[in-house]
């Protein structure tokens, strides 16, 4: 989606999935990066006309355009991420981001010494509030007295690609006492992670594994396996199974990242606590509230 292919986050994950497919199968794929909403339909049509199959779209903003286009090209299969489009030739993939966010929220609360943690969202939309809400629930589950400061970068797609503002928001949160910030903001998060590292506090990445960006300074990353979704869609090719597809903690769609870059930050008991919660979520013993289900959040006000 808007924000650039190399946002180190959402779009990059999608791109990596496609690359992995290309690398493994030797296939080629056409790609386009859009700069403007008004161009979505044009791009889709051109790809469909050119005989690409399947066509994968990363981002909810394609929804409306896809509704139109999918009907016009019944023989082409489409896959869309983060959005549900009710057409027979469309596969809709959605993620339970609130579950993954809950897990990193727990880690944040355990890592925080000040009892204040931050959340910086990208564009202020229900999807991102879903991240924030899950995160806050995780924080409060560990430390009911903790404070969660939440800011959104903006209300337009430019909010996905504004690291400068991300930095300023981070500074503002630091001045309010936050010592762990979670960036769910696409390319904007780059600025958040950077500033957090500059000022000696911890940050949490999103979508892709961003731990490597500032080794030892990124607490963890909330993984959203967009890459897997894209990879699978490409693997399936024209036989892509259409319909509705939910990726959650249970099926490995979301999770938290643990690797050599953050091993020193996550103690064994932290890991144990989080893994236990993950197991509970999978089993249904723990239900994390999904903001988009009723547009409200028990743990955080936006």
Partner 1 sequence: MEKMPKWADIFLIPVVSLVLAAIFSAIVILAIGEDPWAAVKLMVKGALGSTYAWGYTLYYATNFVFTGLAVAVAFHARMFNIGGEGQAMLGGLGVALVCLYIPWPHWSLALIGASVGAALFGAAWAAIPAFLQAKRGSHIVITTIMFNFIANALLVYLLVNVLKPVGMMEPATAKFPKLVQLPSFRDMFSTADTIMFRGAPANITFFVAVAACVVVWLLIWRTRLGYELRAFGHSESAAKYAGIKPTKIIMVSMLISGALAGMMAINNVMGEAERLVLNAVEGAGFIGIAVALMGRSHPFGVFLAALLFGFLYQGGAELALWTSIPREMIVVIQALVILFTGALDNMVRMPLERIFFSLWRKPAAKPAAAE
Partner 2 sequence: MDLLTLLQVLDSSVRMATPLLLACLAGLFSERAGIFDIGLEGKMLVAAFLAAAMASVTGSAWIGLLAGIGASLTLAIVHGLASITFRGNQLISGVAINFFAAGITVVIAQSWFGQGGRTPQLGDGARFQSITLPFAESLSVVPLLGPIYKELISGHSILVYIAMLIVPLTWWGLYRTRFGLRLRAVGENPAAVDTAGISVVRLRYSAVLICGVLCGIAGAQLATAEPAAGFIKDMTAGRGYIALAALIFAKWRPWYALMACLLFGFLQALELRPDLITNVIGIKVQGQLLSALPYIMTVVILAGFVGKAIPPRAGGEPYVKER
Q: Any contact of residue 112 with partner 2 (CB under 8 A)? A: no
Q: Any contact of residue 3 with partner 2 (CB under 8 A)? A: yes
Near partner 1 by CB under 8 A, which window of 31-39, 103-111, 132-140, 236-244? 31-39
Provide the minimum distance between the beta carbon of 8 and partner 2 in the complex, in angstroms, as a whole number: 8
Give the residue, chosen from 100, 132, 187, 248, that forms a contact with partner 2 under the rule CB under 8 A. Answer: 187
Sheet holding 90-95, edge to edge: 55-58, 78-81, 90-95, 243-247
Rounded-to-integer distance, Cα 193 and Cα 182, Å: 9
Tokens of 273: 């606590």
Partner in contact with 24, chosen from partner 1, partner 2, none, beta carbon below 5 to 8 Å by kind: none
Q: Say whether 31 sits in a helix, a strand or coil.
A: coil
Provide the minimum distance between the beta carbon of 84 and partner 1 in the complex, in angstroms, as a whole number: 10
| Terminal-residue alpha carbon distance, the chain | 24
Rounded-to-integer distance, Cα 64 and Cα 195, Å: 36
Residues 15-34, one symbol each (x = binds partner 2 by CB under 8 A, - = not), give ------------------x-
Partner in contact with 127, chosen from partner 1, partner 2, none, beta carbon below 5 to 8 Å by kind: partner 1
Q: Any contact of residue 211 with partner 2 (CB under 8 A)? A: no
Partner in contact with 241, chosen from partner 1, partner 2, none, beta carbon below 5 to 8 Å by kind: none
Q: Say whether 168 sits in a helix, a strand or coil.
A: helix
Provide the minimum distance between the beta carbon of 282 and partner 2 in the complex, in angstroms, as a whole number: 35
Site size for partner 2, by CB under 8 A? 33
Near partner 2 by CB under 8 A, which window of 4-12, 49-57, 101-109, 238-246? 4-12
Residues 92-111, one symbol each (x = binds partner 1 by CB under 8 A, - = not), give --------------------
Residues 6+ apart with CB under 8 A from 112: 143, 146, 179, 180
Residue numbers 118-147 binding partner 1 by CB under 8 A:
124-127
Q: Is the dihedral of CA 134, 139, 145, 146 positive or negative?
A: negative
Q: Any contact of residue 75 with partner 1 (CB under 8 A)? A: no
Q: Any contact of residue 49 with partner 1 (CB under 8 A)? A: yes
Q: Using DSSP bridges, classify how beta strands 116-123 and 90-95 pair: parallel, antiparallel or unpaired.
A: unpaired
Site size for partner 1, by CB under 8 A? 28
Residues 6+ apart with CB under 8 A from 58: 1, 10, 11, 14, 81, 82, 226, 230
- DSSP class per residue in 210-261: -GGGSTTTEEEEEEE-HHHHHHHHHHHGGGPPPEEEEE-TTTTSEEE---TT
CA distances from residue 239 to 54, 211, 231 in whole angstroms, order as listed: 9, 35, 14
Q: Any contact of residue 155 with partner 1 (CB under 8 A)? A: yes
Give the residue, chosen from 5, 20, 45, 289, that forms a contact with partner 2 under the rule CB under 8 A. Answer: 5
Q: Give 123's strand partners.
A: 154
- Residues near partner 1 (CB under 8 A): 30, 32, 35-39, 41-43, 45-46, 49, 60-61, 63-64, 72, 82-83, 124-127, 155-157, 295
Contacts with partner 2, residue ranges (CB under 8 A) = 3-7, 11, 33, 124, 149, 151-152, 154-155, 161-165, 167-172, 175-176, 187, 190-191, 194-195, 198, 213
């Amino acid at each position: 989606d808007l924000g650039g292919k190399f946002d180190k986050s959402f779009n990059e994950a999608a791109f990596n999935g496609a690359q992995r497919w290309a690398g493994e199968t030797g296939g080629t794929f056409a790609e386009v990066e859009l700069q403007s909403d008004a161009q979505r339909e044009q791009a889709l049509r051109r790809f469909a006309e050119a005989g690409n199959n399947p066509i994968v779209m990363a981002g909810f903003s394609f929804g409306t355009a896809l509704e139109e286009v999918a009907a016009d090209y019944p023989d082409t299969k489409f896959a869309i991420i983060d959005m549900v489009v009710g057409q027979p030739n469309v596969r809709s993939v959605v993620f339970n981001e609130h579950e993954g966010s809950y897990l990193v929220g727990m880690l944040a609360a355990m890592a925080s010494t000040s009892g204040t943690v931050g959340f910086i969202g990208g564009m202020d939309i229900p999807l991102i509030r879903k991240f924030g809400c899950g995160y806050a629930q995780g924080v409060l589950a560990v430390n009911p007295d903790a404070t969660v400061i939440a800011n959104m970068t903006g209300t337009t797609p430019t909010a996905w690609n504004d690291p400068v503002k991300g930095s300023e928001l981070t500074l503002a949160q630091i001045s309010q006492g936050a010592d762990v910030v979670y960036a769910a903001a696409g390319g904007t998060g780059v600025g958040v992670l950077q500033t957090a590292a500059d000022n000696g506090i911890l940050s949490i990445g999103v979508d892709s594994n961003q731990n490597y960006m500032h080794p030892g300074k990124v607490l963890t990353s909330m993984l959203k396996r967009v890459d897997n979704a894209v990879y699978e869609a490409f693997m399936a090719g024209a036989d892509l199974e259409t319909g509705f597809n939910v990726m959650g903690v249970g099926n490995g769609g979301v999770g938290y990242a643990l690797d050599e870059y953050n091993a020193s930050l996550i103690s064994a008991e932290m890991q144990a606590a989080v893994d236990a919660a993950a197991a509970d979520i999978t089993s249904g013993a723990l239900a994390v509230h999904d903001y988009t289900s009723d547009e409200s959040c028990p743990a955080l006000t936006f």
